[in-house]
Structure 1
Amino acid sequence: MLRRVFLLQILLGWFIAITKKLVTGISYKSASAAPLFSDVEPIIFFVAPNGNDAWSGRLEVVNPENSDGPLATLEGAKIAVRNLKSNQSYIDRPIKILLRSGTYFLSQPVLFKPKDSGSINQPITYQSYPQERAIISGGKLITGWRKEIVNNLEMWTVDLPQDSSNDWQFQHLWVNGNRRSRSRYPSQGYLQVEALDTSKDQAWHEGHDSLQYYEGDLPSTNVSTFEGAELVVMNRWVESRLPITKIDPVQRQIYFGKSSVFKLAPGDLYYLENSLDWLNTPGEWYLDRQQGKVYYLPFPEEDISTTEFIAPVLSTLLVFRGNIQKNRYVQHLKFKNITFSHTDWHLPQNASGYSQNAWGVPGVINAIALKNCTWSYCTFAHLGNYALELADYCQYNRISYCLFSDLGGGGIKIGRKLTKKTGSNISERTSYNQVVGNHFFNGGKFFHSAAAIVVVKSHHNLIARNNIHNYYYTAISVMGTWGFEPTQAYQNLIEHNHIHHIGKLSNGDGPIISDMGGIYTLGSQKGTVIRHNKIHDITALRYGGWGIYLDEGSSYITAEHNLVFRTSHGGFAQHYGKENLIRHNIFALGDQAQLHRSFKDLKFAREGNFISFHLENNIFYWQKGKFISGLGRNSQSHAIFNHNIYWKVDQPNFLLGGLAWKRWQQSDRHSVITDPLFIAPQEDNFQLRPNSPAWQLGISKIGRD
C-alpha cells in the first residue's frame, strides 16, 4: 500500500512541477530563501535499520570490523548533528541525514529545539536515501496470532504483552498496510435516531446523553460487555463519540457516559462500534482492553503466517518547540521523501468531540515557534489524528508536493484554538506559511468533521494547487472569529485548488453531516482571495452543501474565476457578511439552489446600511431547483447583482428570487437570461465557446489552470 502511495505522490509532484505558474497578485514571501552557497558539499550522516546510535553515522554501511557504520534512529541522528555543531572545529556546511529504507518505530516523539536548527546557508535536511523510502512510525508490530473459534466464527486472536511499557488502548489497526475498521454495527451504512428526551429545555449547543432507536434496528440486546463500546452520532456539522453505558430494549433507549457535542435531532445518523458481539465482517477487529486481547476476522485470502499487524502507541511523532520569549525559533530544517505513519489520539474524558473541524485533535507533527522549515514529497498516511500542525508563532514554512491519506483526522492545521475573543492572542502571529501542490484524500476516517486544511486566526498564508477529495466535511477552512470584528485572519490566498467529493465520498458513502463548503470562511478577512479553484460534487445531509461558503461575519473577501458545479445546496452561500466581491465565477448544476443568502445577512446589512456582497460577471447555469434559497423576494436588497448570465436549461420562464425576469431586472439591469454556450457541460467541460455571450458581458477566463 505504501509503495502505491509513494508512486502516486511522485506522479503528483511531477505533474504539478511541470504545470505550476508564478503566483501573482498578493505578496507571499518565500518559505525559505535559497542559500547563497548552494554548491557547498554537505556533511552527510546515514541512518539504517541495522545501524547503531553509538556509531559515527558517517559510514553508509557497517565496516568489516563491525565497529562503525550508520546510526539507528532519527533521535540518534539529531543528537549526532547537535554534537557536530557544538564541536569548535566544525565549519558551517549544509548537513544531510539520509535514512535507508525501513520502518523506524519510535518509543517517544522526537523533540527539536532551537539548538537543532540549521541556517539559511547551512540548512539541515532529513530525507530518505535516493530511490528508497523511510517510514517513521508511532506504532508497534503485533505478533503471535493464533486461530480460535469465537461466536461460531474462525477468528485470529492474540494476547498482548502486559508490561509497564505497554498500555494497549489503540483505536486503529493497520493490516498489511491497510486500515481495518473496528467491529461495527451496522457493518455498512447508518441508523437514524427515532426520538430524544424532550423533558429538558435544551439550547442547540447542549448535548444529549441518550437516544431512542427504531424498533428492529438493533439485532440483539445481549451485548456481552459495553467496555469500550461507542455510539458515533453525526449532528449538524460535527460528530460525537459516546461511550455506551446501557441499552434498554424495552424503551429502546441507548445511554451514554458523555453528552453529545450539540443537541441531537430525530433523523440524525449514527452507528455503533467496538464490541465483540458486532464482530462479524471480514476485515473488522475488536480490542478487549480488560483482557489485553485482540480479535480479528480475516479476509479469506489472508495468511496468518505472513500478515503484518501494526497498532499505534504514540499520538505525536515530531515535536518542534522554539522559545518565543527569547526570540529563538526552530528553523531551517527540511524533511524530504519521508513517510509518517501509525498514530492514535484519544478524546479527553469529558469530551465527546469538538464544535468545528475536530479542532482539538492534534497533529502528529506538532510545532510552536517554527520558522523557514519545509516538508516536500513526504507521505502522511495511516494516522489516527491530524497530520501536521503549525500552532503558535509558526512563520514562513512550506508544505509542498506531499501526500496525505488515510487520516483519522484532517491534513494540516495552521493557527491556534478558535475563540470568540480577538485581542492579541499569540496564535495571531502565525503567518506566511505555504501549502502548495499536495494531495489530500480519505481523511476524517475517525473524526469525521475534520477538514483537509484549516487556517485559524492566521494571515498571509498561501493554499495553492492542492488536490482534495473524499472528506466528510469541508476541504479548506479559513477562520477568524464569529462576527464582524477584525481578526488576524486576513490576506490569505486560496487558489488553483481542485476540490471534489466532499460530504458524499466517491465510493458512495455519505453524506453524514451538514453545513459545509468546498471552501469555508468565518469572520472578517480583509484581503483574502479565493480564485481559480475547481470545486464540484459537494453534498450535505440536511442543508449546507455549498461550493464556496462565507459563514458568519465573512467580510471583505474576493471570490473570483472559480468553477463550482454539482452541489447539493448551491455554488455560493453567504450566512452574513459585508462588502464581499463575487465575480467572474461559474456556479452550475446546484441541486436545490444555486445561491444561498440567509435572513441574517439582510438583517445585518439593513441595520448597518452596507452592501452585503457584489455579485458581478458570474454565470449561473442549472437544470433543477431554484435560483436562490434563504431569502426570496428581498434577495437583491443591500446587495449588488450586475452583468451576470442566468440560464435554467430548457426552462426559459424561471423565477429569480420568486420574481419574474422583468421585475428582477429592475435592480439588475445589465444581466441577461441566455444560454452561456459551454462546450460540453454534460461532460464537465465548462469552457466557453468562441461565440458565447459571456465575452460581450466582460466575463473573463474562469476556472483552474
Structure 2
Amino acid sequence: MNRFLKLVMYKKSKLSSFLLLSLAFLSALPAFAQTTIYVSLNGDDANSGTRRKPFATIKHAVLAARSVSGPVSIKLYGGTYYLSEPLVFTSSDSRKKDQPLVISNFENEKAVVSGAAPLRNLEWKQGEQGIWESKVSKNLIFDQLIVNGTLQRMARYPNYDTSARFLGGTAADAVSAKTASKWKSPKGAYVHALHRAEWGDIHYTVTGKSSDGELALEGGWQNNRRGPMHPQHRFIENIFEELDHENEWFYDRDAEKLYFIPPSNIDIKKATFESPQIAHLIKFQGSEQSPVENIHIKNLTLSGTTRTFMENKEPLLRSDWTIYRGGGVVFDGATGCILQNCTLTNLGGNAVFFNNFNRACTVSGCLIYNIGASGVSFVGDPAAVRSPSFEYNEFIPLADIDRTPGPKSNNFPADCNVYDNLLFNLGYVEKQSAGIELSMCQAINVSHNTIYDVPRAGINVSEGTWGGHVIEHNDVFDTVKESGDHGSFNSWGRDRYWHPDKKTLDSIVATNFDLALLDVVKPITLRNNRFRCDHGWDIDLDDGSSNYLIYENLCLNGGIKLREGVKRTVENNIMINNSFHPHVWFDNSGDVFRHNIVTMAYKPINIRVWGTQVDFNVLPDSLSLREAQSRGTDKNSVAGNPLFVNPSVGDFRVKDGSIALAAGFKNFAMDSFGVVSPHLKRLAKKVVISEVIELSQTGESETASFMGAKVKNLSTLGERSATGMDAIRGVLVVSTSSASTHRNALLANDVILKFGGYNTNTVRDLMEARIAIIGTKAEIVVFRNQQEMKITVELDGKR
C-alpha cells in the first residue's frame, strides 16, 4: 500500500483531485456494506464525504458514488442547496436493480434543492406609494420572484383579482394603444390570454411599441389549434407603470433595480428573496441503448425553476396541445428510476416530464403544487408514430396510411407508474396543461392520485398512441376552472385514421374499421375513479377516442360524454345530477352502454345508430325511459329512485332491493378514491358532494325541493289568480325555509320563469336548468308582486 501511495504522490500532478478524494473515501468504507455519502451546506468537496466530513455539493457526491460498488445512499443534511445548473445523471451513474443509488434527506431534516438564486445583502429603501427599491447588481434572470417561499406577481394590468375565473383578472383593453400610452417602455412585457375558443391559452412577448402606439407582439404558438387571443380574457405583465398593488414587483434591468410592494405581513428587511434561474433541477439523461438505471430520489423538496411558456412550441400530433419537453425533473432514457415522497413546488414550467424512451419508472407519494404548467407528463417521440399528423386539419390520404399496427420504435415512455400523489394549484401560467398528461406512450398506470384546482383536465390523453393505460382509484375535481369544452378526464383520438371532415371520417370507419385501432393497440381502462367537473364533463372522450373500458366510476356532476370513436364499453358507472352524452357516433361504433345509473335523461346529439348495446340501465323517471325506448334502446332498463345508501356523505352504493340491482348494476367501493399516504390524505381538499336532484315526474299538486324551497308546477286557475300570472305556466314557490341560504332570494308565491337563462315552465325544466348551470352564480327571473324581476343567487355546489 505504501508503494502504491508513493506512486500516486509521484503522479498526482496528472491525476484529478477528485480521484484522490475518491481513493481516500473508498479506503474508509467497510466491505460489502451499503455505502452512505453525506452532503452538508457546511461541508467541503475536499472532504471525504463521511458523516463527520461531508461534501458540500450533491454533484460531487454523485461523482464519488460512481467509484463505489453495491448500494449507495447519498444523505443531504437540512438546508437549501442552490443549483446553478441541473443535476444530471447519465448511464455512468446506473446501478444494479438491487443496488440502487438513493439520494434523500438526512433523517427528518428538510433538504431543499432549488434552481433559484438567493438575493442577499439587499438594501431596501422605501419610496412613494408603498414601493420599495433595492439595487441588485448581479446579472440574474428575473422571471419570477419568491419571497419567504411564496411566489409574488409581476406588475400587471389589470390587477390580480382572486374572484376572477380566468387568468386572475382580464381586460379587453390590456393590449390597446390607449392603455399602452401610459407606458414609457413596455419592451420585455408579456401578454397572456385565453385561446379565442377557450381551448387553453396563448402567450406573447412585447418586442416594442410602434409610432402609432400599438404594441409589437411575438408569440401565440402555444396552442396546436391556432387562433387569435380571446377578445376579453387577456392581461399584460412586467410593466413598471402598473406597479400599484401589494405583492407586485418589477425589475429594471438597465438600472439594476428591484421594485416591490410588500404585503403588510412581510418585514421586507428580514424577508428571504429568491429568483429562479434554471428550468430543470434534475435530469436523467440516457437512451434506450444506454439508459440511466435504478436511481431513486426521495424525501426532498424541489423548487425554484423558471417559466417556460415561451418555449412551448412543439405540436403534439393532432391534439390541441403544444409542449415544452422539460420540467423540474426530467426522465429521458431512464429505467427503474424513482421519484418518491418528494415535494415539488414553485416550479415555473412542468413539474415532472418523461421524455421519449423510459421504462418502469415511478412517481409516488409526492406533493406537487404551485406549478406553472403540468404536474406529470409522458411524451414520446413523434418519429415513433406511423403516419403522423400534427395539426387538427391535417390528414393522411387513405391510400397512403401505414397499416402496420403500433409504433415504429421503442422511443416512448411505457410501463411507468404515477401512484399516490397529491397534485393541486397547477397551470398557474400555462392553461393548456393537466395534472397528468399522456401522449405517445403506452401502459402508464395512473392510480390513487388526488388532483384538483387545475385550469383544464385533471388527466389528459392527447391521442390513442398506444393505449394500454390503466387509470384507477383517482379523485379528480375542481377542474376546467380557466378554460372551456373539456372534462376532468379528457381524451382525443385523432389517430392516423382520423379526418377533420365528419362525412369523410364516417366513410373511412364504415369501410376500414380496423384503421381506428392501429394506434390504440391496447385498450385504455378507466375504473374506480371519482370525477367532478363543474365546467364541463366528468369524463370527456372527444374526437375519435377509441378502445376504452370505462367502468365503476363515480361521476359527481358532469356525466360522461362519448364523441365519435369505436369499441368503447361504458359499464356500471354512476352519474349524479347528469347523464350520458353520446355525440355524433359512427354507425358501426360497436359501443356498449349498460348497467349504468344516470340521474337525467340521455343527451344525444346526432346519433343514428346506438352502438352494439344500450340497455339494462337505470334512468331517473318513466319519461326518460320512454324517450330512450322510443329510440330503440333500453328495452330492459328501469326507471326510478336507485336508493343510494348515504349520498350526503358520498356513499352512492345502492341499498338492498334497489331497482339498480335488478338491472344488473353492482355496487363498488366508495372509499378507495385518491391518495393513500396518511400525510397526503390529511393535506388533500375534499370534493363537494351535491344533493341529488330527483327528476321524478312531479304531478300538478306534488311539491319538490329546490334550493331550500318547496316548489311545484303552477297548474290551477286559483294559483294563476293568486300570483297574478298571465297564464298557467312556470314554477310556483310554495314555501321557503328560514334555514336556507337562499331564503331572501326566493319568497313564497314567487313564480320562477327562468333560471340561468333557461325557461322553466315546469319543475322538471327547473331541475334540468340547475344542472346545466356552469359557474358560481345564476340569474333567476321571478314573477313577484305583479311584475317580473331578476335576482342573482350564489350557487354553493350543494344544489
**Structures share a fold, TM > 0.5?**
yes
- Kindly indicate whether the alpha-carbon contact (under 8 Å) linking 1:434 and 1:463 is maintained by their aligned counterparts in 2: yes
Is 1:527 the counterpart of 2:523? The answer is: yes
Deviation of residue 404 (structure 1)?
A: 0.6
**Structure 2 CA distance, aligned partners of 1:663 and 1:700?**
27
**Counterpart residue number, 2:457:** 474
- Kindly indicate whether the alpha-carbon contact (under 8 Å) linking 2:193 and 2:229 is maintained by their aligned counterparts in 1: no
Is 1:668 the counterpart of 2:668? The answer is: no
Pairs within 5 Å for 1:578-657: 578-590=566-578, 594-599=579-584, 602=585, 605-606=586-587, 609-611=588-590, 613-622=591-600, 627-628=602-603, 630-631=605-606, 634=607, 637-638=610-611, 640-647=613-620, 652=621, 654-655=623-624
Pairs within 5 Å for 1:244-283: 244=206, 256-259=217-220, 261=223, 262-264=226-228, 268-283=232-247
Instruction: Provide, for residues 239-266 of structure 1, a one-character-per-residue CA deviation record: whole Å limited to 9, x for no partner.
Output: 1112245789999x76533346422376
- Kindly indicate whether the alpha-carbon contact (under 8 Å) linking 2:328 and 2:351 is maintained by their aligned counterparts in 1: yes
- Kindly indicate whether the alpha-carbon contact (under 8 Å) linking 1:136 and 1:341 is maintained by their aligned counterparts in 2: yes
**Counterpart residue number, 2:487:** 517
Pairs within 5 Å for 1:420-499: 420-421=388-389, 424=407, 426=409, 428-480=411-463, 487=465, 489-499=466-476
**CA spacing shift, 1:514–1:428, aligned 2, 3 Å:** farther
- Kindly indicate whether the alpha-carbon contact (under 8 Å) linking 2:552 and 2:574 is maintained by their aligned counterparts in 1: yes
Unaligned 5+ runs, structure 2: 1-30, 390-401, 494-516, 673-799
Three-state SS of the structure 2 residue aligned to 1:285 is strand
**Counterpart residue number, 1:561:** 552
Instruction: Provide, for residues 604-629 of structure 1, a one-character-per-residue CA deviation record: whole Å limited to 9, x for no partner.
Output: x23xx342x2111111114xxx6315
Three-state SS of the structure 2 residue aligned to 1:627 is coil
Three-state SS of the structure 2 residue aligned to 1:115 is helix
Is 1:145 the counterpart of 2:115? The answer is: no
**CA spacing shift, 1:120–1:561, aligned 2, 3 Å:** same
Is 1:42 the counterpart of 2:34? The answer is: yes
Select the residue among 55, 73, 88 that pairs with 1:71: 55
Q: How many corresponding residue pairs? A: 584
Select the residue among 243, 248, 263 that pairs with 2:205: 243
Is 1:133 the counterpart of 2:110? The answer is: yes
Deviation of residue 684 (structure 1)?
A: 3.7
**Counterpart residue number, 2:135:** 159
Deviation of residue 188 (structure 1)?
A: 3.1
Return the index of the structure with the highest Cα Rg.
2
Deviation of residue 682 (structure 1)?
A: 4.7
**CA spacing shift, 1:147–1:328, aligned 2, 3 Å:** closer
**Counterpart residue number, 1:693:** 659
**Structure 2 CA distance, aligned partners of 1:191 and 1:436?**
30
The amino acid of 1:598's aligned partner reads: H
**Structure 2 CA distance, aligned partners of 1:369 and 1:444?**
26
Three-state SS of the structure 2 residue aligned to 1:474 is coil
Deviation of residue 344 (structure 1)?
A: 0.6
Bigger mean CA offset, 225-234 vs 288-297: 288-297
**CA spacing shift, 1:103–1:218, aligned 2, 3 Å:** farther
**CA spacing shift, 1:266–1:492, aligned 2, 3 Å:** closer
**Structure 2 CA distance, aligned partners of 1:616 and 1:156?**
64
Instruction: Provide, for residues 356-397 of structure 1, a one-character-per-residue CA deviation record: whole Å limited to 9, x for no partner.
Output: 455225212112210011111111111111111121221011
**Structure 2 CA distance, aligned partners of 1:352 and 1:522?**
17
**Counterpart residue number, 1:287:** 251
The amino acid of 1:95's aligned partner reads: V
Deviation of residue 598 (structure 1)?
A: 2.7
The two structures, once aligned, show a CA RMSD in angstroms of: 3.1
**Structure 1 CA distance, aligned partners of 2:571 and 2:381?**
32
**CA spacing shift, 1:316–1:662, aligned 2, 3 Å:** closer
Select the residue among 300, 307, 314 that pairs with 1:338: 300
- Kindly indicate whether the alpha-carbon contact (under 8 Å) linking 1:54 and 1:71 is maintained by their aligned counterparts in 2: yes
TM-score by length of 1: 0.77
Instruction: Provide, for residues 300-335 of structure 1, a one-character-per-residue CA deviation record: whole Å limited to 9, x for no partner.
Output: 1211221011110011111222243xx221101111
Deviation of residue 97 (structure 1)?
A: 0.7
Select the residue among 173, 180, 183 that pairs with 2:155: 183
**Counterpart residue number, 2:71:** 94
Select the residue among 161, 184, 194 that pairs with 1:234: 194
Three-state SS of the structure 2 residue aligned to 1:78 is helix
The amino acid of 1:539's aligned partner reads: D
**Structure 1 CA distance, aligned partners of 2:312 and 2:375?**
25
**Structure 1 CA distance, aligned partners of 2:375 and 2:630?**
47
**Structure 2 CA distance, aligned partners of 1:237 and 1:227?**
28
Is 1:109 the counterpart of 2:109? The answer is: no
**Structure 2 CA distance, aligned partners of 1:389 and 1:446?**
17
**CA spacing shift, 1:635–1:170, aligned 2, 3 Å:** farther
**CA spacing shift, 1:75–1:300, aligned 2, 3 Å:** same
Deviation of residue 443 (structure 1)?
A: 0.7
**Structure 2 CA distance, aligned partners of 1:135 and 1:285?**
25
**Structure 1 CA distance, aligned partners of 2:452 and 2:111?**
26
Structure with bigger RCO (C-alpha 8 Å, 6+ apart)? 1
> Which one has the bigger helix percentage?
2
Deviation of residue 40 (structure 1)?
A: 6.8
**Structure 2 CA distance, aligned partners of 1:343 and 1:216?**
32
Three-state SS of the structure 2 residue aligned to 1:277 is helix
The amino acid of 1:43's aligned partner reads: T
- Kindly indicate whether the alpha-carbon contact (under 8 Å) linking 1:645 and 1:671 is maintained by their aligned counterparts in 2: yes
The amino acid of 2:530's aligned partner reads: K
Three-state SS of the structure 1 residue aligned to 2:59 is helix
Instruction: Provide, for residues 153-188 of structure 1, a one-character-per-residue CA deviation record: whole Å limited to 9, x for no partner.
Output: 1222222224xxx3x333222111111122222223
**Structure 2 CA distance, aligned partners of 1:274 and 1:361?**
26
- Kindly indicate whether the alpha-carbon contact (under 8 Å) linking 2:203 and 2:310 is maintained by their aligned counterparts in 1: no
**Counterpart residue number, 1:119:** 96
The amino acid of 2:57's aligned partner reads: T
Three-state SS of the structure 1 residue aligned to 2:426 is coil
Deviation of residue 572 (structure 1)?
A: 1.1
**Counterpart residue number, 1:398:** 362
- Kindly indicate whether the alpha-carbon contact (under 8 Å) linking 2:36 and 2:73 is maintained by their aligned counterparts in 1: yes
Select the residue among 391, 400, 414 that pairs with 2:378: 414
TM-score by length of 2: 0.68
**Structure 2 CA distance, aligned partners of 1:653 and 1:215?**
54
The amino acid of 1:292's aligned partner reads: E
Instruction: Provide, for residues 554-590 of structure 1, a one-character-per-residue CA deviation record: whole Å limited to 9, x for no partner.
Output: 21110100001123xxx21122210100000011124
**CA spacing shift, 1:662–1:389, aligned 2, 3 Å:** closer
**Structure 1 CA distance, aligned partners of 2:428 and 2:325?**
13
**CA spacing shift, 1:464–1:565, aligned 2, 3 Å:** same
Is 1:80 the counterpart of 2:57? The answer is: no
Three-state SS of the structure 2 residue aligned to 1:153 is helix
**Structure 1 CA distance, aligned partners of 2:449 and 2:420?**
5
Percent identical pairs in the alignment equals 23
Three-state SS of the structure 2 residue aligned to 1:555 is coil
Instruction: Provide, for residues 281-304 of structure 1, a one-character-per-residue CA deviation record: whole Å limited to 9, x for no partner.
Output: 211212223433221110112112
Deviation of residue 218 (structure 1)?
A: 7.8
